[in-house]
Structure 1
């Protein structure tokens, strides 16, 4: 564009010069032409100067592009990787803090975390392998094996933490340095978690309940399957699993049906009609109990004449059974005992009454009460009522 402007200015300057050189030119026109010629010459000079600067800038630009291309050709992938690697190493060597003239860098923290993660997995595998393969050959019960598994796991966890700190040269005073903030966080954020954690160890060591026990907790009966770090897993007779915090098992009342052994006492209550021979009833009840093969002979079953009820004579039957793996067995045996009691009482001519009430009416005059059994009597009743009216 500037070159076109220069080529246009030159013919204009030549034309003005020719007009000024023509003879007989008017002085006023000559003056205007001279002024125009002077302006065109200045414009031409500036145009030439602008073109020279553009050419200089163009040369600099071409040189810069050539240098960039040359450097790009010399740069290799290895140089880029080396640069990134050096930056990464510098980031790993970044010093986080210094304790007892020992610097703790990002690299040390990462190595410690890797050791902890790998060590946790190894600790779980080793503890499970030891419990499932080695301790199964011993005479330890399931609860004792669970205690050994937990203790072994946490001992290995402590050793792994110490090994991680020693490997990365992190002094143990670092734990003291972070202990205050950690204690505050534990005190406010993990109070319940630590409570359940410690309660789990108390349950495993004191053993008020153990794996395989049948307990009654908050009107729920179930079998303890696992005592974990935070909670205890209980399976009910309905095959429903309940997770109970360990602290609740220590703070609340529980009934352990199998604390010392698997033998429990059961009770069945039955009522017979008034006027029945109570000695005969007791004999028949005892006979019904002893016929069941799963009721223990020792201690011997007991039949108790409990009370004079509103509608029946109340007898309680007490017997003991041994709980098996099937936790529904208690209810099944109780049901079978009721079947046997009903059979023997029916064969002995003793009835089991239904609830009844005696009503006494206190009136100033007697009632005219009549009972009719069929339609003929009903017609007679209507006739009598008509006759009375």
Structure 2
């Protein structure tokens, strides 16, 4: 009976030790968590007083861990012979049924206690390593603080005016909300720091969007088979919408309300009165051109009597490459405010004309047929609309034929070459047919009552004329 009570007591002691050990292990796990949190919080810097305090607490924790570790090792050493003796009793086989049951109770209690000791030692070893490492970090921090205290103080002194400027308020907006049928307002300040952060986000976003513009245009080319004008239009829309999205995101990221622009609207109105209206007008015109599509990249336009091809449309200006190689920068507002001829708005077909002067003796129908044949045989001439030849007028010195033909407007220079080649072939065809191209000439008729005497003496020619009556007509 006594042995049975001792066995039950050993079992209860083991259970009690489990509870105490688990509580202690939980405390050490909490210490480990605090150690990691402090290491992350300080991250190489912190007040020197706090670091010294943490260093002292860490030493105490380390001493406590080592004391408890030594106690567990002693307990494990004492437990080993007890467990061995009880196992030997069970293995001997000379026990009664009741004694064997009591002995097995001892074995189970001691075995559980041994496992508990070993688990506790394992946890304490881990806690000791973490605490030792934290102790070393604190020592390093103390050394760095002692060396860099002067530099830190100097940086702190320098950062004070910077922080003052960074936190300076530029504008205070009021944000309102309806809660339970009541209007609640709160002020939101716009500081220099917020504006700087918003600009940084916007600039980085614009840079990234610019890097993505090329792949977007390649997708438009490969997937949707767009022409050059469509690709440029997609690129401009990408730039426009990404800028609007980035601008909105930048304001939301730093909590700058849209109410600020009520103030900026008045400022912009004043600025417009001092000359910014041209810039604002050009920007608005670029947005209109983006969606109106009356002027697109690749169009041939004529502005102020100068013709060229639109090569790019920017936010303020558009680039027009003239056919003589000169590049013009045209404000976008001029496309909407001035008369602009878009030669390729609906299509790229342009009508040209060539005039030919023929002598009066030539057969007119044959001349028309020859000119029409030469024009139709040229590969650049459009078949629909077909070219046509007119006897335009009876001139002073020639019969004037005019041929009208349609060409695809590529560049002014290339079409000039085509027209020049056609003129050469018209001249050759007329020469082969024996038809004379007219040149300016004038017949002069003289009527005189008396004879005009002309006398040449030597190498000199002496013109003499007696008085006469009458008039000359020419």
TM-score w.r.t. length of structure 2: 0.58
Per the TM alignment, residue 224 of structure 1 is displaced from its structure 2 partner at its CA by 1.6
Which of 423, 427, 432 is equivalent to 1:347?
432
8 Å CA contact retained: 1:93, 1:105: yes
1:359 corresponds to 2:444: yes
Q: Match for residue 225 of structure 2?
A: 139
Q: Match for residue 215 of structure 1?
A: 301
Q: Match for residue 266 of structure 1?
A: 352
Per the TM alignment, residue 367 of structure 1 is displaced from its structure 2 partner at its CA by 4.4
Q: Match for residue 148 of structure 1?
A: 234
Per the TM alignment, residue 321 of structure 1 is displaced from its structure 2 partner at its CA by 2.2
Distance in 2, matches of 1:200 and 1:74, equals 56
Q: Match for residue 46 of structure 1?
A: none
Which of 162, 173, 185 is equivalent to 2:248?
162
Q: How does 1:17-36 map to 2 (within 5 A)?
A: none
Distance in 1, matches of 2:259 and 2:460, equals 106
Provide the secondary structure at the position in 2 that maps to 1:76: helix
Q: Match for residue 214 of structure 2?
A: 129
1:294 corresponds to 2:380: yes
Q: Match for residue 257 of structure 2?
A: 171
What whole-Å deviation, never above 9, does each CA across 1:202-241 have from its counterpart, x for those lacking one? 3333333322222333332222211222222222222221
8 Å CA contact retained: 1:213, 1:258: yes
Aligned length: 305
Per the TM alignment, residue 274 of structure 1 is displaced from its structure 2 partner at its CA by 1.5
8 Å CA contact retained: 2:453, 2:463: no
What whole-Å deviation, never above 9, does each CA across 1:143-179 have from its counterpart, x for those lacking one? 3333333333222222222222222222322222333
Distance in 2, matches of 1:102 and 1:222, equals 52
Q: Match for residue 322 of structure 2?
A: 236
Per the TM alignment, residue 302 of structure 1 is displaced from its structure 2 partner at its CA by 1.0
Give the alignment's Cα RMSD to 1 decimal: 3.1
Provide the secondary structure at the position in 1 that maps to 2:162: helix
Structure 2 CA distance for partners of 1:86 and 1:190, relative to 1, 3 Å: closer
Per the TM alignment, residue 306 of structure 1 is displaced from its structure 2 partner at its CA by 0.3
Q: Match for residue 394 of structure 2?
A: 308
Q: Match for residue 368 of structure 1?
A: 452
What whole-Å deviation, never above 9, does each CA across 1:239-291 have from its counterpart, x for those lacking one? 22122222222333333332222322221101011122111211221222233
Provide the secondary structure at the position in 1 that maps to 2:355: strand
Per the TM alignment, residue 96 of structure 1 is displaced from its structure 2 partner at its CA by 4.1
Name stretches of at least 5 consecutive residues in structure 2 with no aligned partner: 1-146, 175-186, 465-474
Distance in 2, matches of 1:251 and 1:184, equals 23
Q: Match for residue 93 of structure 1?
A: 167
